[in-house]
Chain A
Amino acid sequence: MIRPGYFVRQALRGMRAKPMIQLAAVGAIAVGLLLVGVAVVCALNVERLANHWGRGTQLTVYLKQDATRARADALAKLLRSRHEVARVRYISPRDARKRLGESLGSRAALLADVEPDFLPASLEVELSREADGAQARAIVALLGAARGVEEVDYLGRWAQRLGTLVGLMRTGAILVAAIIALACLYIVGSTIRLGVYARREEIEIQQLVGATPAFVRAPFMLEGALQGLVGGALALLALYVFHSIAAPEIEGALASLLARLDVAFLSPLQLCLGLVGGVLLGLVGSTVATGRYVEAA
């Protein structure tokens, strides 16, 4: 017969009996989850930043010397048909030369002896604000393979490199989070094992008088789940406090360098997952910790 009341009483009794061990276990879970949370929030915001930088980007499509105006118009039509593209503008070789001359200012005379058509014709493409980095890269790939296109300049390829960097950072963040989670599991397991060790006599007696392994484990599992829940809640609270303090600083720094961007926090679903993660951590830690003593009898 299952008696939840008994298990709850036993779990609470265990927690009361060794408060320092409980505190250590809750602390280990909280610190571990906080580190995982920091990694997740960082990854989340790097992703957002990358997408933000990718928006409203100008692409410059340099056409081959032999590409006709008709080919340029066909490419422009193709680009305008895509929802990620906000505007397309044809820049003739003469327009390009004029712009270069303007940019040279007082040294524009340097271009006096240069052929008026020495610069290639190009298409200036402005992506819509909704278009993210991945969509921009897709357009670049499409244009790169199109007939009559010499080269596509996508923020001087810088944004592409950023995309690669973001991919690496995302993978790194996942790896770091996984390593932290494993280390956390080990620490939590060891801490919970201390509590189990302190009550090994009780476990032995229970088994000697006929308790099943599930009966012996149940209070420890409950204890682990409670520790995980409290540890998880503390970690999320600490993460929220850190975010509240650090976010305005980071936003200020970004605003002066690049663009205005709100540093995001975890979504309600992610917060719930954090709590569930804490409970799972406690449960797995308890299972690992009790295993040795329960199986030994």
Chain B
Amino acid sequence: MSVTKSFGRGSGGEVLALQDVDLHVGKGELVLLTGPSGAGKTTLLRTIFAAERPEGGEIVVAGRNISRLRRSSIPFLRRNIGVIFQDFKLLKDRSAIDNVAITLDIRGIRRKESHARALEALGAVGLAEAAEKRVSCLSGGEQQRIAIARAVVGVPAILLADEPTGNLDPELSHDILDLLDSISRRGTTVMLATHDPMVVANASCTRLVRLERGRIVAMEQGVRAPIAPPRLLTPTPQGLDAGVLQPAEALS
């Protein structure tokens, strides 16, 4: 991708959120986007799933330029991109399983199957037992894991995570990072945005990209930790065995 994005045209002036960001991410990579607040990390992720349109440049996913995608094609792009939002974006009055299954419901998958797969995804993040609980009754950490389960249940080719550990204690943060690492090792491309130095220091990644004022100011090779089964997956390993977290080969 090579993109430029600005906000606030008009009397309030213009802020360049992204300036000539040029980045190529390979399949199965885990890229860590770092930088202070306002650096453009979230905007970059949002342009990838077409929540923002870049003014300049292009974003190519699996050989397809998505920056000029027709509006009617955006839903189908999003079905291949899992997103973990900083504020979770969960329906608080619904059960955990309903929140995860929504990704499959919108594809027209039958309720029984969508719930079975949602349960597997919840099992993969260690929340199978909380499947029927209302989201509002769960802790921040549990809600974050539901958001992860929802992002991966559709078997996306790309997983975008915006501050996925922002609301978690250090131990749980570590578990979430392990889980994302595990997902990436199975072929899903993961892009993780964080401003947390602890995450930057501890996360296993293939590349570390630092953004400041909308520009890439540094890019370095990351350190990938030795393969170890994440602890979150231990209680219900059937989730992985059933192929819940196997990524799609390509966008279709």
Q: Give me the interface of A with B, judged by CB distance under 8 Å.
A: 1-3, 5-6, 17, 201-202, 204-213, 215, 297
In-complex Cβ contact of B78 among A17, A201, A208 (8 A): A208
Interface check B172, CB cutoff 8 A: no
- Decide if A206 touches B106 in the complex (CB within 8 Å): yes
Beta-carbon contacts under 8 Å, B85-111 to A: 85, 89-91, 93, 102-103, 105-108, 110-111
User: In the complex, given contacts A210-B75, A210-B78, A297-B51, what are 16 additional A-B residue pairs having Cβ atoms less than 8 angstroms apart?
Assistant: A1-B108, A3-B110, A6-B111, A201-B89, A201-B91, A202-B91, A205-B91, A205-B102, A206-B106, A207-B75, A207-B78, A208-B85, A209-B78, A209-B102, A210-B76, A211-B75
- Decide if B83 touches A208 in the complex (CB within 8 Å): yes
- CB neighbours of A297 from chain B (8 A): 51
With both beta carbons as reference points, the residue of chain B lying nearest to A13 in the complex is identified as B94
Most-contacted residue by chain B among A207, A208, A212 (CB, 10 A): A208
In-complex Cβ contact of B108 among A3, A202, A209 (8 A): A3
Q: Separation in Å of the B137 CB from the closest CB of chain A?
A: 17
Give 7 A-B contacts (CB < 8 Å), ordered by A residue.
A205-B102, A207-B75, A208-B49, A208-B85, A209-B154, A210-B154, A212-B75
- CB neighbours of B154 from chain A (8 A): 209-210
Beta-carbon contacts under 8 Å, B105-137 to A: 105-108, 110-111
- CB neighbours of A205 from chain B (8 A): 89-91, 102
- Decide if A210 touches B93 in the complex (CB within 8 Å): no
In-complex Cβ contact of A17 among B75, B77, B93, B102 (8 A): B93
- Decide if B111 touches A209 in the complex (CB within 8 Å): no
- Decide if A210 touches B79 in the complex (CB within 8 Å): yes
Q: Contact flags (1/0) for B6-18 with A, using CB distance below 8 Å?
A: 0000000000000
Complex: A209 Cα to B107 Cα, angstroms: 10
Beta-carbon contacts under 8 Å, B60-91 to A: 72, 75-79, 83, 85, 89-91
Number of interface residues of B (CB under 8 A): 24
- Decide if A208 touches B89 in the complex (CB within 8 Å): yes
Complex: A1 Cα to B89 Cα, angstroms: 26
- Decide if A209 touches B91 in the complex (CB within 8 Å): no
In-complex Cβ contact of B150 among A1, A6, A202, A209 (8 A): A209
With both beta carbons as reference points, the residue of chain A lying nearest to B111 in the complex is identified as A6
Closest 9 CB pairs of A and B: A1-B108, A210-B79, A210-B78, A211-B106, A212-B75, A210-B75, A209-B103, A205-B89, A3-B108
- Decide if B75 touches A204 in the complex (CB within 8 Å): no
- CB neighbours of B76 from chain A (8 A): 210
- CB neighbours of A2 from chain B (8 A): 108
With both beta carbons as reference points, the residue of chain B lying nearest to A215 in the complex is identified as B106
With both beta carbons as reference points, the residue of chain B lying nearest to A6 in the complex is identified as B105
Most-contacted residue by chain B among A3, A205, A212 (CB, 10 A): A205
Complex: A45 Cα to B186 Cα, angstroms: 76
- Decide if B108 touches A5 in the complex (CB within 8 Å): no
Complex: A17 Cα to B78 Cα, angstroms: 28
Q: Separation in Å of the A220 CB from the closest CB of chain B?
A: 15
- CB neighbours of B85 from chain A (8 A): 208
Complex: A10 Cα to B157 Cα, angstroms: 29
Q: Separation in Å of the A210 CB from the closest CB of chain B?
A: 4
- CB neighbours of B49 from chain A (8 A): 208
Q: Separation in Å of the B204 CB from the closest CB of chain A?
A: 27
- Decide if B111 touches A5 in the complex (CB within 8 Å): yes
Q: Separation in Å of the A214 CB from the closest CB of chain B?
A: 10
- CB neighbours of A206 from chain B (8 A): 102, 106
- Decide if A208 touches B51 in the complex (CB within 8 Å): yes
- Decide if A204 touches B107 in the complex (CB within 8 Å): no
Most-contacted residue by chain B among A1, A2, A204, A209 (CB, 10 A): A209
Complex: A32 Cα to B83 Cα, angstroms: 44
Contact of A210 with B91 at beta-carbon distance under 8 Å, contacts A1-B108, A2-B108 already known: no
- CB neighbours of B91 from chain A (8 A): 201-202, 205
Complex: A2 Cα to B105 Cα, angstroms: 11
Most-contacted residue by chain A among B49, B105, B110, B154 (CB, 10 A): B105
- CB neighbours of A211 from chain B (8 A): 75, 106
With both beta carbons as reference points, the residue of chain B lying nearest to A3 in the complex is identified as B108
